[in-house]
Amino acid sequence: MSREPKEVQEALQTVSQALAPLKEHKTVTWLLDSGFDDVAVWRTIWEQQEHVVSRIYHTERKVAFQDRQGQWHEGDIAQARAHLRPLAQAETTMEVKRGKQVRPKKQPVKVKLSACPLRLTYQTNVRRKGQGKSLTREVWLVEVRVLGTDWDPWLLLTDWPVQDAPSALRIFTMYRQRWSVEDSFKFLKTCLGWEDVQVLDWQGIRTLVALAWVAAGFLFDLGVTFDWVEVQLLAKLGGWEPHKDRMPGKITLLHGLGRLFEMLATQATLSNYATAHQGLPPKIAAFLHGWQPPGEL
């Protein structure tokens, strides 16, 4: 999503309109990175009767915060952090560098979750023409510390109540899921070199993108399991051999996607040539044993 204010606002509204039929039975929560630490973004989400979990970096933002005795104070988010209440610990798998490790690797880590209530006051006309009004929203500040690493804590702001261990774990899980989605997009950019993909026909692109999403869904725990025959096929194309307690990894699935791409690219090149020249050269056609352009894959 572009971070230009106008385009962001248009995207927020367009997505909300597209999801309107689902809102009767579903709740929409926006999971945002720190590039959207912006009251104008949150304001629009709240006007659409939706929720937000946003990573923040503006610790100088003015808020009211509640101390551990329940008293409210005026200040900023940096000051509010002194009043965070430890709520839970969790374990997750992340690519991190720990201890004397030379480079990051995917491994289990523990995280510590703390939170405190905030009151955020904002103007409804921020980045809008015309008069607005002042509103105050009850939100929560959630701090996530990845233990055993030199990472700075994540600071999350959400309008979902975070008052106990289950609610803190829920917010962490939601934001962690967003990270998995982001990792999957990075994976797709890696395995789909768009300049190369341009040699494919439309059906070839659709096939490759669909199977790349299957691979990403498996690698980043987005609901795809090894029971999917598509994952098994990509693993086989990548040279994976069945082994107890060992699943195919990123390199294997990338290799499988690469072999699939080469097949689709070859078919697209042959099809384009055959169309332009009313068939393949006789000797090539003989080598290919009467090859014909493929149907849908």
Whether residues 159 and 227 share a domain: the answer is no
- Element housing 261 (H / E): helix 250-276
Asked whether the predicted pLDDT for residue 202 surpasses 80, the reply is no
Alpha-carbon span 218 to 237, nearest angstrom: 16
Give SS3 for 257.
helix
Average pLDDT over residues 34-42: 94
Those residues with Cβ within 8 angstroms of residue 268's Cβ, 6 or more apart along the chain or in another chain:
199, 200, 201, 204
In a domain? residue 293: no
Alpha-carbon span 204 to 269, nearest angstrom: 11
Alpha-carbon span 279 to 25, nearest angstrom: 55
In a domain? residue 72: yes
Enter the pTM of the model: 0.71
Predicted pLDDT of residue 99: 82
Asked whether the predicted pLDDT for residue 190 surpasses 80, the reply is no
Predicted pLDDT of residue 2: 40
Predicted pLDDT of residue 273: 85
Q: Which residue has the tokens 């610790």?
A: 59
In a domain? residue 295: no
Q: Which domain holds residue 263?
A: 192-287
Whether residues 117 and 215 share a domain: the answer is no
In a domain? residue 130: yes
Q: How many helices (H) and strands (E) does the chain have?
A: 9, 8
Q: Of 187, 202, 237, which residue sits at a domain end? A: 187
Confidence class for position 195, pLDDT limits 50, 70, 90: low
Asked whether the predicted pLDDT for residue 192 surpasses 70, the reply is no
Whether residues 107 and 233 share a domain: the answer is no
Give SS3 for 66.
strand
Whether residues 55 and 112 share a domain: the answer is yes
Whether residues 151 and 176 share a domain: the answer is yes
Whether residues 146 and 82 share a domain: the answer is yes
CA 275 vs CA 73, 292, 296: distances in Å: 74, 11, 17
Whether residues 182 and 255 share a domain: the answer is no
Q: Are 32 and 52 in contact (CB under 8 A)?
A: yes
Phi, psi of 128 (to 5 degrees): -130, 155
In a domain? residue 167: yes
Q: Of 138, 171, 187, which residue sits at a domain end? A: 187
Q: Which of these ranges, 29-38, 82-91, 132-141, 261-270, has the smallest mean pLDDT?
A: 261-270
Confidence class for position 1, pLDDT limits 50, 70, 90: very low
In a domain? residue 292: no
pLDDT in tens, 115-158: 999 999 999 998 888 888 999 999 999 999 999 998 999 999 99
Predicted pLDDT of residue 61: 96
Q: Between 285 and 162, whose confidence is greater?
A: 162
Predicted pLDDT of residue 291: 60
Q: Residue 143's domain is classified under what CATH number?
A: 3.90.350.10
Whether residues 63 and 199 share a domain: the answer is no
Q: Of 187, 220, 245, which residue sits at a domain end? A: 187
Average pLDDT over residues 70-85: 96
Please give the structure tokens belonging to residue 20. Answer: 């309107």
Whether residues 13 and 102 share a domain: the answer is yes
In a domain? residue 124: yes
Strand blocks (E) in 125-232: 134-146, 154-158
Alpha-carbon span 244 to 288, nearest angstrom: 39
Those residues with Cβ within 8 angstroms of residue 51's Cβ, 6 or more apart along the chain or in another chain:
27, 28, 29, 30, 45, 158, 159, 160
Alpha-carbon span 224 to 253, nearest angstrom: 13
Whether residues 178 and 199 share a domain: the answer is no
Q: What is the mean pLDDT of the chain?
A: 87
Predicted pLDDT of residue 194: 52
Structural domains of the chain, count: 2
Whether residues 120 and 43 share a domain: the answer is yes
Range of 59-73, 222-236, 269-283 with top mean pLDDT: 59-73
Whether residues 53 and 156 share a domain: the answer is yes
In a domain? residue 133: yes
Alpha-carbon span 152 to 68, nearest angstrom: 23
Predicted pLDDT of residue 268: 82
